[in-house]
Amino acid sequence: DKYIITCSLLQHQPGYQHNILFYFMGKNNSNMASFEPCRTKMEKEGIAQSAISAFESTFNSLVSGNTGIIPESTITPVPELVHTDSISTAPDSALLSETVVLKLNGGLGTGMGLDKAKSLLEVKNGDTFLDLTAKQVMCMRKEFGQNVKFMLMNSFSTSDDTLEFFQTKYPTLAAEEGLEMLQNKVPKLDATTYVPATCESDPSNEWCPPGHGDLYAALIGSGRLDALLEEGYKYMFVSNSDNLGATLDLSILTHFATTDASFMMECCERTENDKKGGHLAIRNSDKHLILRESAMCADEDEESFQDISKHRFFNTNNLWIRLDKLKEIVEKFGGYIPLPMILNSKTVDPKDDNSQKVIQLETAMGAAIECFEGASAVVVPRTRFAPVKKCNDLLLLRSDAYIITDDFRPVLNPACGGAAPVVDLDSKKYKMVGQLEEATKAGVPSLVDCKRLTIKGVVRMGRSTRFVGDVSITNKSDESKFISGKIENAALDVSENIGLGALKPSVVATAPVAGQKPGTSGLRKKTKEFMSENYLNNFVQSVLDAVVAGGTNLSEGTLVVGGDGRYYNDKAIQTIIKMGVANGVKRFWIGENGLLSTPAVSAMIRERGPVWQKAFGAFILTASHNPGGPEEDFGIKYNTQNGGPAPEYLMEATYANTTSIKNYKICSEFPEIDIAKPGCTSVAADDGSSSVVVEVIPSTESHVALLKSIFDFGAIKSLLDREDFTMIYDSMHGVNGPFSKAIFVDELGQPESVLMNQIPKDDFNGGHADPNLTYAKELVAIMGLDKKGNKIDVSGSVPSFGAAADGDGDRNMILGSQFFVTPSDSLAVLVANANCIPFFSTQGGLKAVARSMPTSGAVDLVAKDLNLDFFETPTGWKFFGNLMDSKCIFKGKDYTPFICGEESFGTGSDHVREKDGIWAVLAWLNVLAAHNPDPSKALVTVEDIVRKHWATYGRNYYCRWDFEGMDAAGANAMMDKMRADTAANTGRTVGSYTIATADDFKYVDPVDGSVAQKQGIRFLMADGSRIIFRLSGTAGSGATVRMYIEQYETEKLDLAVADALKELTTIALSLCDIKTFCGTETPTVIT
């Protein structure tokens, strides 16, 4: 109380109220706060000593009671400065060899709702800040005829995004030595105790950037300052990455050099738009130039602070620094530059207003002007200052009020008459970039003839919208209203205007649902869980948000939706359509009856046109081979514009979104779509601003057309028409029923009797639509085999060829007459006979093959014999997709044409980016047709082809045991135990085998460099035999333990598989001890 009374008595004495109040508050806190916890945390993180010293200086300023306030009474306005337009000194190009250009690129733009480098935000004509910066650098080098050194100071939050951007789009710049210098990071401080804050949910939230004042500590701590001086660099030009007007100006550089200034700040004259920003001043005590930011202004000085006639100049943050003088100052202060403190109050989790209250301490690099003896400032034209701090700025820059010059600088359109329009958007409705982009989905309005634009409330604009003169728009309603046509010198209230009608989106409050982390094949759970409140909606919104954040414009192109027909597909499709519309999707392709096989979706994305309607992605509603029905499994996955499963980064972003989601968008009034028959439904907004087209298309159309271009259908038909050839295809009541009819009956002219279980059912007729010897038991029996693949007695004839598909049509099983072809052997045979297929032979033959790690090594031998590039990958089709796209997306080596496969009955090629069950069946039929060109000769059977293959390459005896529905904790403990024992097991003798290597498979992707770890425990025997254990990530509930056994033989080719692998199987059960961890040694399925 005494402290407050004292301050009250002094409140009328200028400059004292704030300082004294905070002095006593600070004094109190300083008794509690020590810098040591910060030092320990920073040292543990490996932060440079220069950064620690700089932060300690700022921290001590905080706890000493220094608020950073600069009273008006302690400063004097800056008199007239040199205007660069008046510089007459002849430009000296020789200075360029001593100059380095550095862009500050540490900002995430969180204040505008961004969570990636702000510089990756699109600015104009499809170019981001970084695009224009890179183009400016290349143009500058061309203009000056010198390779002017260019650097970026990235933060820990922007480094990865930025480097990936340069490596992808500007690889020459990315390869330059010293392109990146990393900004340091400092701890956020508890707002009460000043100890480092904690955030258990995301420890990265415990850190924050220290402001661009960290430039100096980063130059010192990284060793870059000394390196630049040693390389002969003397001058540095620094500017913000969002200020595209700040390019290297040779005239200004020459002025800086000839005046022998140690530090020079570029300033602009303040206007009404700038009055709330900082300004340049002279400190009375030592006559030094200083920078006073808004946070340094006392409340009672606000009027003087905003007086633009008094304090005329503001800092553009375009700075010129003498590196040798910087070195002297650093040495003077013992390794850092003491800069004034800027204090920001935040929460530790920026997305959670209820999280721990924290203080973030920052410094500004321009404030260093007070540390340099002989520092100066110049006035530059507004063309050198075009930053984007708010959505007001972004709308203006994106509009026709600005144009891009030949040297890639944004400048005011001459048609504006020298004065930029004043844009004042509702700060609550347009704080975030996403809100602005929602308002301008139909295009950016014309502002070139506008003097002032004021918008209150939510509106939508488009390319047809033209603002002229002084315009004010008000919308008091909750629904966004569309503004179109020419609006001139008007104040409009559009609150009662017609709205979107059926296209009106609603924002529905929700909360995160636990357990929505997608696996390699999307998200799979029990159907009832998906049907629970907001479960599906949360995940769909999280995916769409991640897709948009990744750079996809949902209003351009088409969203594909379909699935395997399992229970709840129909309702989920309607929900996805309504949510897609609310999120901006303008066109949908829906499979007839909601049916689209997984490979058909990939084909549709890649093949269906026209170009302007090309699909940008797809939701596939499937749980693959898992059972369906109200008590069974449901699933959803997202495929991207290459037709393949969403890459890891997109799924990680999706999962992150599911953990923090607060609402989702849906057009509840959008009509239900009749998906039972092909046709188009067009729904227009009541205000005529937009429309949505939902097209129900024949499910088989794109995929069948693609398959006809791959295979020799004439040769296959000749084979099928032979009297001594019969076949049966089992769709297992999954999605491939319509596809099998379209191909075998409609295209190849076979009777419907060649099809079985071809009617799709939402519960797969109570079966388990997994094409293996256990679950496809009806087909297996017809083909004269038991569930172990052994021959059984049959009374009638057995078809020559049998095949089966799983629920979503991406898997296959191949059978000959009383002969089972393992998936591993199937892959090897198809690779060895690829030239029988036109798709490969007409392209010069295969270039590369790949298999998943657990798949047998049969194909390895073929690849070696045919001199093909070979890859062993983790399980998951996305790894194959990367190899297929090595050239077209990653600009690497071309591995196509390409065949790949997995032991889990998945085979395919680069025609799509998914495994393709019916492709594998047609591939086998094409190979059989090639081996049977003369119908008068005896039929060469499936068994004949496989046995000939074994005689050539040897046989990989192989089986897989699946233990389904295991307790997840026990299964994980078993895997952890084997992982921990790998070193001890290496070199160990077990039975008649020696374990040459025991390890946990790790894959470094040769295309994008990503690393996949913990992909399976391997026991590699000295004779080439293998034992492998994996946990499957595709089960909807429980855990599936998979045990793989393999032994290679070149002589004993006719053993029963169980006999050939008997000893290895016993060893495998002993190595894993599954009986102890999971309570059983009896598998659910043996393949």
Among 602, 624, 817, 824, the active-site one is: 624
For 14, phi then psi, to 5°, come to -50, 135
Strand extents, DSSP E, 285-325: 289-292, 313-322
Contacts of 806 (CB under 8 A, 6+ apart): 624, 625, 732, 734, 769, 770, 771, 905, 917
Residue 460 contacts residue 505 (beta carbons within 8 Å): no
Provide the pairing of β-strand 99-105 with 1026-1032.
unpaired
* Cα distance between residue 1069 and residue 283, in whole Å: 80
| Nearest-5° Cα angle at 675, 671 to 677 | 125
Q: Is the dihedral of CA 746, 747, 752, 755 positive or negative?
A: negative
Q: If phi over 0 gives left and psi between -120 and 50 gives alpha, with beta otherwise, what is residue 577?
A: alpha
* Cα distance between residue 1086 and residue 1081, in whole Å: 12
- The closest of 38, 42, 54 to 334, measured between CA atoms, is 54
Residue 79 has a CB neighbour count (10 Å cut-off) of 7
| Nearest-5° Cα angle at 369, 366 to 375 | 135
Q: If phi over 0 gives left and psi between -120 and 50 gives alpha, with beta otherwise, what is residue 675?
A: alpha
Instruction: Give CA torsion, residues 470, 476, 478, 481, to 10 deg.
Output: -40
Residue indicated by tokens 């030592």:
286
Residue 624 falls in the annotated catalytic set:
yes
Rounded alpha-carbon distances, angstroms, from residue 474 to 424, 459, 795? 12, 9, 83
- The closest of 238, 235, 234 to 215, measured between CA atoms, is 238
* Cα distance between residue 999 and residue 1019, in whole Å: 7
| DSSP secondary structure of 937-992 | SPPP-HHHHHHHHHHHH-EEEEEEEEEEEE-HHHHHHHHHHHHHTHHHHTT-EETT
Residue indicated by tokens 């045979």:
829
Residue 967 contacts residue 1071 (beta carbons within 8 Å): no
| DSSP secondary structure of 457-511 | S-EE-BTT-EEEEEEEEE--SSS-EE--SEEES-EEE-TTS---GGG--EEEE--
Q: Crossing angle, helix 942-953 and helix 917-931, to 10 degrees?
A: 90
Residue 562 contacts residue 673 (beta carbons within 8 Å): no
Side-chain-facing half-sphere of 515: CA atoms under 13 Å:
9
Residue 104 has a CB neighbour count (10 Å cut-off) of 24
For 1032, phi then psi, to 5°, come to -80, 140
H-run or E-run covering 343: strand 342-347
The DSSP output letter for 446 is B
Strand extents, DSSP E, 74-134: 75-77, 82-83, 99-105, 122-124, 127-128
| Nearest-5° Cα angle at 625, 622 to 630 | 60
| DSSP secondary structure of 1024-1041 | S-EEEEEEES--SSSEEE
For 324, phi then psi, to 5°, come to -70, -35
Residue indicated by tokens 């639509």:
769
* Cα distance between residue 1036 and residue 743, in whole Å: 32
Residues with active-site annotation: 624
